Amino acid sequence: MKENPAMKKVVNNMRPGVISLHGFLGDDKRDIEQIIEHDAAELEKLGMIPDEVADKLQEIMEKALGGLGDFISLKAGYEAKADSIRGKLPCPFSHPGLFRKTVITVRNAETGEEFLYTDLGIHLIRDHCFFQGKGSPFRIEPVKLQVFLQKV
């Protein structure tokens, strides 16, 4: 099968150092279409849709921004904080717009388990059903996300 030139550009944009320091693919060996298809199937199996997931992550981010860099309490023993860095990032899919460099840390206060996401990550989930490649620092596994979102 012939490679789609537009997707080739997207994959190049996702490499480390092009748009972000670590890139978006981690050490995942699957091609981007396989990553998206797998995660979309996982979401469907879990009864979730990208818009709902993105809305909830956006809501948590907005609450965390109110903490001014400190953790704020969420339900079920979770807490979140927002760290903002100067500048904005474009979407690797060449979607219009720029996204703030805000990193949200969500932590289970009892176990210390954490996951991270960004403004751009919310967009990637909402508009591209892309949760990033395995091994990416900002990848959120849909199953773990579902467990978290059911609690908060």
Tokens of 20: 């972000």
What Cα–Cα distance (Å) separates residue 106 from each residue in 5, 19, 111, 133? 37, 24, 12, 19
The pLDDT assigned to 16 comes to 93
Adjacent-strand bridge partners of 116 = 105
3: pLDDT confidence band, cut at 50, 70 and 90? low
Q: Dump pLDDT digits (tens) for 30-71.
A: 999 999 999 999 999 999 999 999 999 999 999 999 998 899
The pLDDT assigned to 5 comes to 76
How many structural domains comprise the chain?
1
Which alpha helices (H) appear in the chain, and where do they start and end? 5-13, 32-46, 50-65, 119-128, 142-151
| Residue 147 in this model has a pLDDT that exceeds 90 | no
d(CA 6, CA 146): 31
Q: Count the neighbouring beta carbons within 10 Å of the beta carbon of residue 74.
A: 19
The pLDDT assigned to 152 comes to 83
Whole domain around residue 17: which residue ranges? 5-151
Q: Dump pLDDT digits (tens) for 78-115.
A: 999 999 988 999 999 999 989 999 999 999 999 999 99
